[in-house]
Structures are given as C-alpha cells and as structure tokens.
Amino acid sequence: MVQRKAHSRAASRQQIPRIRPAEAERILQEIEHLLDKSQALLVDLSSVGIAELLRRLDDSMLQLAIQPDDSGERTRARLMSAIVPALCSEPVPGIEDFVRITNIMLPCLLLELGRRNRHIEVEFPADPAGPDAQFRISFGGSHPRILRTQQVVELVATAGEELVGICYFGDEPSKKRIEKALTSKQSRPRHLA
C-alpha cells in the first residue's frame, strides 16, 4: 500500500525543466556579462537591495542557478562569488560568510522564480543576510506572512520539495503542506519557532 501511494504521487509530479549543458554554457556567459555590467550595483547591493539584482536575472538564469547538476553548481558558484562579498560586512568574506549568505540567497532565487510564475508573492529585504532581515511572502493567495531569514532557511530544509512545487507549478498540495508547516511552527513557543 505504501509503495502504491509513493508511486502514484511520484507519477503525478510535474517535471521540472532542465537546461542542457550547451545552453547552460551560453547562459553562464550571459551571467558573466550581466555581473560585469552590474559592478556599481554590487558595490552598493545591501543598500540598493537584492530585488534589483534578481530583476536583472532572466528566467533561464534563475532556473539554471537552482538546477541540481554540474551546470547549476557552476552557475550558483559564479553568482555567489559576486553576491557574497557584496552582502558581507567583512572586507574579506570567510567560509562562514559564504555558507550563511548562500543559504539564504539560494531560496531567494527560487522565490523570485515563483514570484515571476505568479505562484507566490514575495517582498525581499534589501539585504536578506542582514540580522533583522524579513521577507513578506504569500503562498498562492494565502495571507501574507513575515518570515525572518532563519525561518526561510528552515522552510527550505523542512519543506524544500514543496517550495519547489509551488514556485515552479503553483502546486496546491505543496501550498497546503507549506501553510501547515508554517502554522504549526507559529503555534509553538517563540523560542522553538
């Protein structure tokens, strides 16, 4: 019985489009060009806001950056090599800075794709890695929620597949599972949420 449920759920899942290596190489070159043209923005990114940089990335750039393969890994590494120093308060970012900022920037790329697909509404903080950063997110018409950076990272860790489902496809079951996860976390005592 368990196998049948798992099989039917897997069979009903939509396929996430994948960008082939030749196309990925072209997109990565476009990202290089975009980052070269965006040096002034990157210098002042924490003030101007990450939303401005996300607006400059086209859909294929976002898709490639969250694609789970070698091409996606190269794209994420290139983007993070530009974004982390721009958002880091230290003159030379350390490994911890790269991990901390990357852990929130990768969900930002997915959320931006979901926003463009009109499956979610999201307002990004200027500096999502900042200590007081808050995201305003509505998952498919639900009432807006204010999530701190750590809550977004935890949401990805606990409901990443559902987040992908809603951002790519507007998947209603994914939306319900995310809402349930967020509601159960809010009902816990504040220090556990």
* Model confidence pLDDT, tens digit, residues 145-193: 999 999 999 999 999 999 999 999 988 888 888 888 888 765 443 433 4
Residue 79 CB contacts under 8 Å (≥ 6 apart), including other chains: 31, 35, 65, 105, 109
The predicted pLDDT at position 118 comes to 93
Please check whether residue 46 lies inside any domain of the structure.
yes
Please check whether residue 15 lies inside any domain of the structure.
no
Please check whether residue 193 lies inside any domain of the structure.
no
Q: How many residues does the chain have?
A: 193
Please check whether residue 183 lies inside any domain of the structure.
yes
Domain of residue 183: give its range.
21-188
Closest CA to 72 of 116, 109, 34, 37: 109
Please check whether residue 147 lies inside any domain of the structure.
yes
> What distances in angstroms separate CA 64 from CA 3, 26, 106, 160, one per listed residue?
32, 11, 12, 17
The predicted pLDDT at position 181 comes to 80
The predicted pLDDT at position 13 comes to 58
The stretches in the chain having pLDDT less than 70 are: 1-14, 141-142, 185-193
Domain count, the chain: 1
The predicted pLDDT at position 54 comes to 96
The predicted pLDDT at position 63 comes to 95
